[in-house]
Amino acid sequence: MRATPLGVHNPRTVRDLLLTHGWELGQAEAAASGITGAAVHLTGLTPSTLEHLVSRGGPSYGLDVVTGDDWAIVAGSMARLSAFARPWSALPELAELAAVTVRALGSAVPTLWQTARGPVDLERPVILGVLNVTPDSFSDGGRYSTEATALTQAERLLENGAHIIDVGGESTRPGRPKPVPVDEERRRVVPVVEALVRRHADLLISVDTVKADVAKAALETGAAIVNDVSALRLDAGMAKVVADAKAGVILMHSRGTVSDMASLDHADYGASPLAEIVEELGSSLDHAARSGIALERVVVDPGLGFAKATTDNLRVLDQLVALAVLGRPILVGPSRKRFLGAATGREVDQRDVATAAACALAYERGARLFRVHEPGIVRDALSLAHAMAAGPPRLTPAV
C-alpha cells in the first residue's frame, strides 16, 4: 500500500492521473474539476479496503473519494484529510491506510542542512553554481577545464549569487559519455577544490561525483558536500566516505549508469511516476541511514532530465509536493535541460530564462536548493518567489 501527495493547484494533475488509470477524457475532466484542497493518491489497495473507504471512511470525514480497481484519490481540506489520517482514531479496517496517508502528508521540511563545514540555512533559497571542469559537459564543456579558467568562473558564479560551488569532473550529458577513470576525475577536481578553499576559506564546496575515491579526496581537500547523481547506487564505498566525513550529501534520482542515465533507456514508469521516484529515493535514504549518514545531512533531488521524458519532467516539476513525504530538503537542477528546450524551442545556451522560471515554480512547490549554470537571473526570480511566499511587508501606519 502506497500513498503519494498530489498538488491539485491545477485540475490537469488529477485529470492526467485518471487518464493513466484508463478513464475516458470527459469522465476524467469532470471528476478532476471537483477536487480541491489537498489530495493523496493511494495505490495497492485491497477490495475490502476500497469498500470501507468508499462506504464509511471518506463520507465520515467529508472527503471526496475517486476509486479504481486497486487505487483511490482522496481529497478535501487539509484539516479533514489530516483527521482521516489519524491511525489511532480510524476504523480498524482503515488503520493501515490512515498510517500511510499520515506519512504521505508529512511534516515540515527542515530549514537547516548539515554539511562537513557547518549548516546551510534554508529559510531562503540556496543556489549551487555549476562548475564543470570537464571537456565534454553538455552546456559548457571545455570552457573551465583548467585551474585558472575554473577559478575565474567560480568568482563569476559567486558574484552573481551562488552560495555553494558544485565542482564536477565527469559529464552525465546526453549522448552516452564514456566513464572517466578515477585518477583522471580526481586530477580534474581536486586541484580546483584546493584552490577554491585557499581563496575562499568559508566557501561551501560540493563535489559532483559517483566515485567514492574522488569524493574522499575532495572532502579531505576541503569540500563539504557530495552530490551523488546515482544516490549511492554506483559505488558501494560512497556511503561510508560520506558518513566518515560527516559530509552533506545530495541524493539524486536516476536510473542506469553514468553513460545512459541522461537517456530515455530507463524512462519506464507506471501510472504514477512520482510514486516510483519517491519510492526509489526512499530506498536510497534508507541505505544512507543504515550506512551511518545522519538524515540531517541529506538533501533529495528528483533528477530532472535523468531517465525522464519531457512529460515526466514537467509532471515532476509540478508535483514536487510528492517528495515532501521523504522529510528532507528538496534540490532541483532544471538548468538548461532538454525539457526546457522542448517547452520553449530554445537551444541550450538560450535556456537561462526558462531555467529561472522553472526554479521559481519549484520554490513555490517546496524546493529550497537550486543547481544552475547562470545564478544571476535565477537569484532574481527566486528573490521574487520568496517575497511572494513571505507575503507583503507590514506597513507602518502614518503618524
Q: How many C-beta neighbours within 10 Å does residue 175 have?
A: 11
Closest C-alpha among 222, 199, 210, 214 to residue 171: 210
Closest C-alpha among 128, 132, 78, 129 to residue 101: 78
Residue 216: active-site member = no
CB contact burial 77-103 (16+ within 10 A = b; e otherwise) = eeebbebbbeeeebeeebeebbbbbbe
Residue from 80, 351, 371, 379 carrying the catalytic annotation = 371
Helix axes 182-199, 212-221, angle to 10 degrees: 20
What is the signed CA dihedral for 321, 323, 328, 332, rounded to 10 degrees?
-80
Residue from 337, 338, 351, 365 carrying the catalytic annotation = 337
- Give the pairing type, strands 298-301 and 248-252: parallel
- Give the pairing type, strands 71-76 and 64-67: antiparallel
Phi, psi (deg, nearest 5) at residue 73: -115, 125
**And the C-alpha cell for 96?**
493501515
Q: Is the dihedral of CA 172, 177, 181, 185 positive or negative?
A: negative
* Amino acid type, 287: H
Residue 337: active-site member = yes
The residues annotated as belonging to the active site are 337, 371
